[in-house]
Amino acid sequence: MRNYTQFYIDGRWVDPVSPKTAEVINPATEAVSGEISLGSPADVDKAVTAARRAFATYGESSVQERVDLLESIQAEYLRRETELGEAVMEEMGAPRSLACGFHTLLGKGHLGTAIEVLKAFPFEEQRGPTLIRKEPIGVCGLITPWNWPMNQTCVKIFPALAAGCTMILKPPQLAPYSAQILAEILHEAGVPAGVFNMVQGQGSVIGAALSKHEDVDMISFTGSETVGVQIQKDAADTVKRVGLELGGKSAWIVLDDASLPANVAGATAGMMGNSGQTCSAGSRLLVPSSRMDEVKAIAAEAANGVTVGDPTGNFAMGPVVSKSQYDVIQDYIEKGLAEGAELVAGGAGRPEGLDKGWYVKPTVFVGTNDMVIAREEIFGPVLVIIGYDDVDDAVRIANDSNFGLGGYVSGEDVEQCRAVARKMRTGAIWVNGGFDFHAPFGGYKRSGNGREWGEYGFHEYLEVKSIIG
């Protein structure tokens, strides 16, 4: 049992102003795995006061001082990387190979990238008669989700530290353990008092208090569209900057060539990674209508080949994060059936032999782009295959969405893939499985605003000043 009932404020572990706790449930067993405290606006006030005081000096720190600090954090992160992975496995049900692999690798990658970018970042540049300075925006409220806890936390904390900002982290209530360990890492690495603060609790309480607080200069939020809209409203009265990375319904376009079988199999299996709980997941698979029978057989085989079970075992997919998430996914599967979508793999209920834990069958439908299962973010291992007539039709279908976070194009001709990608109205597009920590990530349309990752992530935490003459 984990017992994390203190907050990290002003360089110390402190008790909540008004003690209140909540249980944390292991999604693989449905058993209580630990306890956290739920903070209040009074705790946020304490954290913001500490961050504001610390900004007076940390905001003036040199690049080399911040590089040294991040490298100290890097050493401590590497020392406790396995411990972070075990926490991710326990809190949100990711299989051990994923939790101790890609989950923690993402955090490590964002840290290393922040160091690399910081060493060469142009905080000042002369343009004609004008000196342009990029200065830290100030006190930042960082509100993170549960689905990729290390990625989403580290992609905010490390660029903010590198930019010279101070911060208050509000981790996800459903997955709080890895954030607790990360706070311990920052403390041991010597982050100055007040620069980093953490208050656990409910988003509707802590997130709202941060968004409304007059001494918070910027909010960075990753999560649902509904909550993002509310944060913008809460932040409006104080005219603070708000960076949002919200939902997605990303299209994966598979071109009509000899690589189609491998690409369909890869896209199907990829959709099931992290139990489908990825905002940029390719949840709409667009394929040539003329090859639909072939595609259905390949996708069904790929989905049925995804092993599901205990995260501590040798399985490809664990449970989804909670009962409420399980129920939402089941409701969408039923909606797909009711709409007349063709079920080619998976379906309602738990996989055979799993009667405990929030496990979902890897599910594949064939449908149309006007169905609810193709319009709304399910956030589970549910793929919708949609046929297209030609490449222009594929692009039209891909762009016919309220979202625009991620996208994928697969095919033998890389230049054709890039030509298709240029026409897609979405923030990040992966061509044949590419990956880059320096590539900016963020959304068009209702998928949010601003960009994270690499150098572009720094700009979220900087103000631009012109010194003219």
Q: How far apart are CA 402 and CA 409, in angstroms?
A: 19
User: Environment class of residue 324 by beta-carbon count within 10 Å: exposed (0-12), middle (13-18) or buried (19+)?
Assistant: exposed
Q: 73: buried, middle or exposed (CB in 10 Å: 19+, 13-18, 0-12)?
A: buried
CA torsion, ordered 287, 293, 299, 305, to nearest 10 deg: -170
List Cβ neighbours of 435 (8 Å cut-off, separation of 6 or more).
none
Q: Is 245 a catalytic residue?
A: yes
Query: Would you call 187 exposed, middle or buried from its count of C-beta atoms within 10 A (0-12, 13-18, 19+)?
Result: middle
3 state DSSP class of 224: coil
- Residue 407's region, left for phi above 0, alpha for psi from -120 to 50, else beta, is beta
Single-letter residue type at 125: E
Catalytic position from the list 91, 245, 455, 460:
245
Q: Where are the beta strands (DSSP E) in 246-388?
A: 251-254, 284-288, 342-345, 363-366, 382-388
Q: Which of 34, 72, 310 is nearest to 180 (CA)?
A: 34
Cα 207 to Cα 12, 39, 226, 231, distances in angstroms: 21, 10, 13, 8
Tell me the C-alpha distance between 262 and 354, whole Å: 30
Catalytic residues: 245
